[in-house]
Amino acid sequence: MIKKFFITGTDTNVGKTIASSILLKKATYHGYKTAGYKPISSGGKKKSNIILNNDTLILKKNSAIKLSNQEINPIAFLENAPPHILSCLYKRDITKQNMSLGLKKIAKKSNWIIIEGAGGWYTPLSYKDTFSNWVKKEKLTVIIVIAIKLGCINHAILTEQAIFSENIQCGGWIANNIVPNNQYNIHYIQTLLNYIKSPFLGEIPYLKNKNKIDYNKINIILPK
């Protein structure tokens, strides 16, 4: 049976890619043939007519199986802006069918897949579809990444409630300490433990250098 998890966040820039890379490493250690999939990306550098997105490169590096940039990230935009807006500007349709096709191709090679979204739960794919519509179509289990900062409690509760309202399974949540030496972090996390009904998968410490991560020292458990 292939395990497929969709990584969403309480907002943009909350650490979805870092959380994804940690989960991929942990699952690889447990013997899974892991793969990262980022169907849509915005923001990157152009090299030989190819857009290189940093999140895509991180997912590629931490996947157990070898995948091309195109396989991991079939739809890439150079500018850093909402995907549905760039889709309209550059006349590149984003369809749920194409996203599913990319996932199906990866599923033929791996048995444990992390699918990283863009922005938060209701990030639009177009003016009629959001990421949540595709997640529901694919019957994916969702993992929420919560950036521990002022405002995170409200955003986290709303995100989980939105997921539950669509009868989608939430496999857990991860706390990501994005602010160094915040005296309130422990209180934020304790409050979230009281309010969030999904399993707590663990906590990512503040990472000063995200390019040098000791994955063995990060206590994250794999979702079921």
Taking all residues of the chain, what is their mean pLDDT, rounded to a whole number? 95
Please indicate, yes or no, if residue 222 is contained in any of the structural domains.
no
Tell me the average pLDDT across 190-206: 97
Position 107 scores a pLDDT of 98
Please indicate, yes or no, if residue 162 is contained in any of the structural domains.
no
Residue % of the chain over a pLDDT of 90: 92
Numbered residues of the known binding site for substrate: 42
Place of tokens 């209701």: 122
Residue 209 scores a pLDDT above 90: no
Tell me the average pLDDT across 73-96: 95
Please indicate, yes or no, if residue 178 is contained in any of the structural domains.
yes
- The span from the CA of 72 to the CA of 37, in Å, is 5
Residue pLDDT, tens place only, 25-39: 999 999 999 999 999
Please indicate, yes or no, if residue 43 is contained in any of the structural domains.
yes
Is 38 tagged catalytic?
Answer: yes
pLDDT-wise least confident of 10-19, 58-67, 85-94, 202-211: 202-211
* Per-position b or e across 83-101, b if 16+ CB within 10 A of its CB: bbebbeeeeeebebeebee
Please indicate, yes or no, if residue 119 is contained in any of the structural domains.
yes
Confidence of residue 70 (pLDDT cuts 50, 70, 90): very high
Please indicate, yes or no, if residue 201 is contained in any of the structural domains.
yes
Position 167 scores a pLDDT of 97
Numbered residues of the known binding site for ATP: 13-18, 55, 116-119, 176-177, 205-207
Sign, CA torsion 62/25/34/104: negative
Q: How many domains does the chain have?
A: 1
Numbered residues of the known binding site: 13-18, 42, 55, 116-119, 176-177, 205-207
Please indicate, yes or no, if residue 163 is contained in any of the structural domains.
no
Numbered residues of the known binding site for Mg(2+): 17, 55, 116
Please indicate, yes or no, if residue 190 is contained in any of the structural domains.
no
Give the 3-state secondary structure of 29-49. Answer: HCCCCEEEECCEEECCEEECC
Residue pLDDT, tens place only, 155-166: 999 999 999 999
Confidence of residue 50 (pLDDT cuts 50, 70, 90): confident
Q: What range does the domain containing 145 cover?
A: 3-152+171-184+196-217
Position 48 scores a pLDDT of 83
Give the 3-state secondary structure of 107-172. Answer: HCCCCEEEEEEEEECCCECCCCCEHHHHHHHHCCEEEEEEECCCCHHHHHHHHHHHHHHCCCCEEE
Which one of the listed residues 4, 38, 96, 149 is annotated catalytic?
38
Residue pLDDT, tens place only, 4-15: 999 999 999 999
The CATH number of the domain holding residue 110 is 3.40.50.300
Confidence of residue 173 (pLDDT cuts 50, 70, 90): very high
Tell me the average pLDDT across 169-173: 98
- The span from the CA of 133 to the CA of 154, in Å, is 23
Position 89 scores a pLDDT of 95
